[in-house]
Structure 1
């Protein structure tokens, strides 16, 4: 069992930008219409913004405000699928025997976001990029908890998924719409996360667990559970 506090949170999805937007959505969650909208990252210089995909913009939009004023802040970045639009473009170029863009390739790898974060924030603390399966959020939380245990006063956790291109719809079923969630974690016992094991079915819900956790956070639920393969994760909030 691990203990931690969620000191602050930020989230983004098309049409859901403010805390009030997310409070309303969490009370009555609905599927969002397809949108090409991208979050505002005007806090970055234009020449730097142009390098960022929407996935990276989502990560920066939720993470940057949480990191404001904090130095030596470790980062745990989680995405199950990563830069699917970029990788499809690269595969398409290969299929058509076109030359590959070194920039596209360098920005398509899974740790590109944390590399850009390190450069743009001049941040040299520990950073981890995870590509776990259905319980990536929990594995990211374990990584963050280890950093807190080692003495970090806070850890930034960011989980984000991009809407996959149509070519991937037969294989990717767990991204209802593009979203990003940032959590600023600190030592404490406000929340507990416990892992149990057993033969269970994957949790059948309409929403990714990151969004279900946000719903629990914003609707004052005392607990939530997430099952994946033989792992059952129990989240408990201290009364």
Structure 2
């Protein structure tokens, strides 16, 4: 059983990670380029006012930086874009801080850290910094965060006939959680998608939800240990299989992602 095909175009992309600070730099790594000698310390998105940027935690800065890059790449005003943000793990450092504080004798929480701890904090920073009045959803689906969010965004793009900003981000997990969550890399990736009949140029993509028992993510073509490890451990980096699809010419025209226990979603480059 298959659902109706959903068609859209990818008009812009942005990316940020420990060894890349743009979509172009990530593409080079996906194509086999060597890693830079040093890691990036962390993004400093200029769209966030300086005072707020100093207080913004790493997941917020990751999400806002890649989002800004994508909108600039698409040459679209952020105010015109409805948004969907996704993180598989959320801000684990702030979660650890809050749990430790509430379990201690002195339970007073930092107001700034408390307001940054909510899952939609990156979406809030983005919409406030850009003045966006459109809706902004925040999704959490752990290992399936990427596929769930892409379906959510494409459905909105097609049914409401409007451009969408889609952003995935996850930061290294707090030390206390590393025995059960292995991610140690920063990663953010953003897409601007537009209706398939929009005048904006873009890469045409078709999505189709299928009833299937597939529960594993496809292997990457990249032979980079860094890319492979990040893909396996960072929930948001699962979008790299789509990134490979839209940038490489290895003969593959589609990729299948697990969506739930009994469904998957196929993305085809048309």
TM score, norm. by length of structure 1 = 0.88
- Per-residue CA shift, 1:140-196, capped at 9, x if unaligned? 2222223223444311000111110121122224x3521000000001181111121
| Alpha-carbon distance between aligned partners in 2 of 1:147 and 1:65, rounded to the nearest angstrom | 22
Select 2:242's aligned residue among 205, 213, 219: 213
Structure 1 gap ranges (5+): none
Q: What is the match of residue 237 of structure 1?
A: 269
- Cα shift at 1:36: 7.0
Structure 2 length as normaliser, TM-score? 0.79
Q: Secondary structure at the match of 2:122?
A: helix
TM-superposition CA deviations, 1:182-216 (whole Å, max 9, x none): 00000118111112122234226541421221122
Where does structure 2 lack aligned partners over 5 or more consecutive residues? 198-203, 220-227, 232-236
For residues 104 and 77 of structure 1, the distance between their equivalents in structure 2, rounded to whole angstroms, comes to 20
- Measured after TM superposition, the shift of residue 101 of structure 1 is 1.4
- Is this contact kept in 2: 1:34–1:177, CA < 8 A? no
Secondary structure of 1:50's match?
helix
State the superposition RMSD in angstroms: 2.5
Judging changes above 3 Å, is the alpha-carbon distance between structure 1 residues 202 and 30 closer, same or farther for their aligned structure 2 residues? Answer: farther
**Contact 1:31-1:177 within 8 A present in 2 as well:** no
Measure the CA separation in 1 of the matches of 2:218 and 2:178.
Answer: 18
More helix by percentage: 2
Q: How many residues align?
A: 237
Q: 1:127 aligns with which of 122, 127, 136?
A: 136
1:34-70: CA deviations, max 9, x gaps?
9571113134331121121111111111112333551
Question: CA 1:230 to 1:150, structure 2 compared with 1: closer, same or farther past 3 Å?
Answer: closer
Q: Does 1:137 align with 2:146?
A: yes
